[in-house]
A and B are shown apart, each in its own frame.
Chain A
Amino acid sequence: NAGVMQNPRHLVRRRGQEARLRCSPMKGHSHVYWYRQLPEEGLKFMVYLQKENIIDESGMPKERFSAEFPKEGPSILRIQQVVRGDSAAYFCASSYRGNHEQYFGPGTRLTVT
């Protein structure tokens, strides 16, 4: 049973470009969560999604950030017009419906130059 997959593992973008981060949950998991980790800090919750629904986006910046989890395919975290402050590690986690343990992917390290 493959774990949570994230790609790319490393992503470099120039200021003003768009970043698209992908997350494929564990097989059988229909709940996906995105977290951001700034250097030397803990993980901060961004958004919680189920298939085709955003359940909680209280941690998402109001502008430039969006997330989706379509019926088919991976969950996507999209950052438009990236700025240097967006440089961070972005982690995706998934859980089974009704289960509260979240399993994390390896993360995507975004660097904005």
Chain B
Amino acid sequence: AQTVTQSQPEMSVQEAETVTLSCTYDTSENNYYLFWYKQPPSRQMILVIRQEAYKQQNATENRFSVNFQKAAKSFSLKISDSQLGDTAMYFCAFMKADAGGTSYGKLTFGQGTILTVHP
């Protein structure tokens, strides 16, 4: 079974600064996907970024980037130029995949990190 651990229950950052959220996972699988989801106060789950385990290059989406360390089973999220609208709960998630990259559907989530961006 896979487990996902987010060791930072809460983080805060000043507007326009950079913050990094940590995530580690435990799996014996070689093929998988990793995700970061954002859950603002509206409680809507929003996909932030996705990383394929077979890709060494770190994924980037505008101000959001990841530091994927496969050997260390670490998947941190960096938010640059933080904005007030980034205030939310952030969840790291794992999904197993087969050798062809087809997912097995089940997302395993971490406990979440509450990020507060201060003006």
The A interface, classified by DSSP as helix, strand, loop or mixed, is strand
Task: Digitize B90-111: 1 where CB-to-A-CB distance is under 8 Å, 0 elsewhere.
Answer: 0100010100011111111111
Determine which of A33, A101, A106 lies in contact with B43 in the assembled complex, contact meaning CB atoms within 8 Å: A106
- A55 lies within 8 A of B105 (CB): yes
How many of B's residues come within 8 Å of A, CB to CB? 24
A35 touching B44 by the CB < 8 A rule? no
Give the nearest-CB partner of B109 in chain A.
Answer: A42
- B residues 58-114 near A (Cβ < 8 Å) are 91, 95, 97, 101-112
Shortest Cβ distance from residue B43 to the other chain A in the assembled complex, whole angstroms: 6
Q: Mask for A15-35, Cβ within 8 A of B = 1, else 0?
A: 000000000000000010101
* Docked-complex contact A42 and B43, CB < 8 angstroms: no
Task: Output the least CB separation between A10 and chain B (Å).
Answer: 11
A101-B108 in contact (CB<8A): no
- Residues on the B chain within 8 Å of A45, using CB: 106-108
- Answer whether residue A62 sits at the interface, using C-beta atoms and an 8 A cutoff: no
A residues in contact with B11, CB < 8 Å: none
Is A56 touching B104 in the complex (CB atoms < 8 A)?
Answer: yes
B1 to chain A: closest residue by CB: A58
Q: Does A104 contact B (CB under 8 A)?
A: yes
* Nearest Cβ on chain B to A56's Cβ, whole angstroms: 6
Residue from the list A44, A55, A56, A91 in contact with B45, Cβ < 8 A: A91
Closest 4 CB pairs of A and B: A100-B103, A104-B45, A42-B109, A48-B105
